[in-house]
Amino acid sequence: MENKTILALYPNRRGIAYALFHDKDLVDYGIKNTYPFHLKKTHRKIQQFLSYYKPDIVISRNINDLKKNQSKKTQRIIDMICTEAKLQKLEVFSYTRTQIKQVFVNFKCTTKFEISKKLMEWFSELRAYEFPKRKSFMTEDYNTGFFDAVSLAVVHWYFND
């Protein structure tokens, strides 16, 4: 798995969060807004991700472990990511929120906030995007998305190294 470029894509309600790694170095990260949602525009953005970054491996979120009322839009985006990556003959992996939690519990992290703190320890460039601990009535911080994308790559390394 040495010297491979990994693109982790994590669709959420704000858009598609991404994290790009070469080997295990975080090269780029952010969120591409897909609001308002248009299927063709979103598909084009996915194609742009893949053609611009030219990854060897694509990792995506998997929502099969969540309730059935989970966003159908999110599932469509995940399906588009996996289909487009496979069409380009790329390795494709997907991990559920449960798998992410199973990995990070080994590092004594059980919440997204704790996971983000751990990721900031490992990837110092993320410290600039630290967000406050969320209260139950607060919406998720905008930057949480790319922490989710980075966590997908960490889970991939955990299961495959």
**Which pLDDT tens digit goes with each residue over 16-70?**
999 999 989 999 999 998 777 788 888 999 999 999 999 999 999 887 766 655 6
Q: Is the pTM of this model over 0.75?
A: yes
Tokens, residue 60: 């995506």
Contact 144, 19 (CB under 8 A): no
Give 24-82 as a DSSP string. TEEEEEEEEE--S--HHHHHHHHHHHHHHH--SEEEEEE-TTS-TTS-HHHHHHHHHHH
Tokens, residue 137: 């009535």
Is 80 exceeded by the pLDDT of residue 142? Answer: no
SS3 state of residue 23: coil
DSSP 138: S
The residue behind tokens 């970054």 is 53
Domain 5-160: state its class. Answer: alpha beta
